[in-house]
Chain A
Amino acid sequence: MTGSVAGILGILVLFALLLLRVPVAFSMFAVGFVGIWGLNGLNSATSLLASEAFTLASSPELIVIPLFILMGNVASHTGMSRQLFDAAYAVIGSIRGGLASATVIGCGGFAALSGSSVASALTMGKVALAEMDRFKYDDRLSTGVVAAGGTLGILIPPSTGFVIYAILTEQSIGRLFLAGVLPGLLLLSMFVLAVSILCMIRPDFGPPGPKTAFMEKIRAIGRAGPIVLVIFITIGGMYGGFFSPVEAAAVGAGAVILIGAITRRLKPAMLWDAAKDSVVTTATVMLILIAAHMINPFLALSHMTELVAQGFAALDMGPMGSLLLILLIYIILGCFLEGFAMLVLTLPIFFPIVLELGIDPIWFGVLVVLALEMGLISPPVGLNVFIVKSVAPGVSLGRIFTGVILFWVMMLATLAILVAFPQISLFLPNTMFN
């Protein structure tokens, strides 16, 4: 059997296993291990398995993942997300659609504390949905805005998506985090714009909330001050060169624990639960990463990447055409695959092509993460939609999916802007790192 045939067969088996509900990590382990065994022998497959597992588990860069997850979990357990929402609500809650916009801003703030979109949607859903329900917001807007706003967690740094991308493509985590700032803010603004347009066309979707007195506004902003300070210290410290991403994550986690302890909102049992939740999430992510490092050598040995690259060359679309095709594939795959699994499965194939085409890997990282983000609210497996459904059991899935359409279109528009203007992604990393 030639390498290419083995590669194609391997990918078909991989997809068959995935469709049979075999966990992504197990599927990649099985196909990668058997594939390397077939092409290079059992000893080669076994020694790769042992070395990759230990090397990855002891990789200093990867510690950033559990630390940022812990930071987000503690912030969520101690209700810090509520204060972010309250501050935004106090400022803009009285305008039409203000509660929905406050939710988006709250999601953006929480995204800067947590690298997880699911955590953002879940936390903000618990906080904001009841408020929007109280002020008679249309449930399509309220659930849609939480599901879409939650996706900001993966684009605004710290982002688990960027860390995984960085590990798989050997790019700088710091540069990627920095590259995500402006696109994240752009997307946040697009979401707020979407809410405003919608409420202008359909005023009944987002009635204005009660006015907040000036002093109450100041107090609400003041209460969110410590969280904003944590965000400033972690993100600012990293960009200012005071901390590495790992140190920033530990400082952030330490700071939210300290704030929780000082304000007496964090009980030891709560910290323990947050730590246990964090390590379980870490185990899920790490097992997939280790499995990805089994399948990557198999794809290299079977020359699959070269085969796909030849296919792209034959299409003769140039770098921009190829980039658009790759992004289209990501958007379509995002409808069926979990975003993180999609990243791990496709990057080994697409990334070498991207490099060969001369596309900036940091820019590509931002585009891919945004495409991945769109998958979080795309039917039929939009994870954030299901998360919101779990928080709002009274709203049908159909209505939530209807609610996210406008935000999905806004994400597509943001993707188009970022493709057209790479400087938006590259300005900060190029300015600060060069």
Chain B
Amino acid sequence: MERIRTLADRLIGLSAAIGATALIGIVVVILIDVIGRALGSPLYGSQDITTMASVILVFAPMALCDRLGGHISVDLLERYFPDAVNRGIDIFVAFLGAVIFGWLALATWDSAQLSLMLNLSTNLLYLQKAYFQWAAIGFMSLASLGLALRALELLLTGRDVRTETRS
């Protein structure tokens, strides 16, 4: 279990780093476009690049978001619940999240097949949408696996990685 956690954490860190790179990339592309426009030659297809990069930026950090306990929840009644109930809720939430991200990945897979069949692409640079959908599927699957692993850890060993030092 420990080795799987180490591997999962490395993948989660890598995917978040990809997301951060996409964000900095978006800043650079838009700046080049704005400066270029002021000089009379805007960056051709900049919106195609930024919108597709934003798909990476949105889904890449999903796994880290859960790892850090970043999802917003209403913890109004937490202190009134017994520890066992809180632990049960944590396990349920992690499984539910795993199912949601897994289903999202499956649904996006079908959608990607359709995009490929219809040759859907961006308007100017003709970037194939299916490639970015596949990337999103990868990140969604990683988020699903991360949540499933957390649920198993909570169930089998009682370990909650979110309470440990943030990586």
Contact = CB atoms under 8 A, between A and B. Distances in A.
B26 interface: yes
Nearest to A25: B71
A380 B75 CA distance: 11
B60 interface: yes
A22 interface: yes
A351 interface: no
B42 to A, nearest CB: 11
Contacts of B104: 49-50, 53
Majority secondary structure of chain A interface residues (helix, strand, loop or mixed): helix
A3 interface: no
A344 B165 CA distance: 31
Nearest to B140: A53
B74 A21 contact: yes
A418 interface: no
Interface string A262-290: 00000000011001101111111011100
B111 interface: yes
A246 interface: yes
A243 interface: yes
A282 B55 CA distance: 11
B74 A284 contact: no
Nearest to B17: A276
A29 B26 CA distance: 29
B20 interface: yes
B72 A284 contact: yes
A30 B110 contact: no
B4 interface: no
A392 interface: no
Interface string B94-138: 001100100110111011000000000000000001001100100
Interface residues of B, number: 57
Nearest to A66: B23
Given A283-B70, A286-B58, A19 B23 contact: no
Interface string B59-100: 111101100101111111110000000100100110011001
Q: In the complex, which of the residues A23, A24, A243 has the most CB atoms of chain B within 10 Å of its own CB atom?
A: A23
B73 A280 contact: no
B92 to A, nearest CB: 8
Contacts of B60: 279
B58 A24 contact: no
Contacts of B74: 18-19, 21, 24, 336-338, 341, 381
Given A49-B107, A70-B27, A336 B68 contact: no
A20 interface: yes
A60 B51 contact: yes
Contacts of B72: 23-25, 284, 288, 338, 340-341
Contacts of B132: 58
Contacts of B103: 33, 46, 49
B136 A282 contact: no
A250 interface: yes
Given A19-B77, A59-B51, A276 B20 contact: yes
Nearest to A289: B58
Contacts of A279: 16, 19-20, 22-23, 57, 60-61
A50 to B, nearest CB: 4
Interface in A19-45: 19-26, 29-30, 33
Contacts of B17: 276
Q: In the complex, which of the residues B65, B75, B76 has the most CB atoms of chain A within 10 Å of its own CB atom?
A: B65
Q: In the complex, which of the residues A275, A337, A340, A341 has the most CB atoms of chain B within 10 Å of its own CB atom?
A: A275
A283 B51 contact: no
A47 interface: yes
B50 interface: yes
Contacts of A49: 103-104, 107
Nearest to A252: B27
Contacts of A337: 74
Interface in B2-28: 16-17, 19-24, 26-28
A253 interface: yes
A262 B29 CA distance: 21
Given A246-B30, A337-B74, A381-B74, 16 more contacts: A21-B78, A21-B93, A22-B92, A23-B71, A29-B100, A49-B103, A49-B104, A53-B108, A66-B57, A67-B27, A251-B30, A276-B19, A283-B65, A286-B58, A338-B74, A341-B72
18 contacts: A47-B107, A53-B107, A54-B136, A58-B52, A58-B54, A63-B54, A67-B23, A243-B34, A247-B30, A247-B34, A250-B27, A251-B34, A257-B27, A276-B64, A279-B16, A279-B23, A283-B19, A283-B70
Q: Which 5 A-B pairs have the closest CB atoms?
A: A250-B30, A23-B71, A50-B107, A275-B20, A50-B111
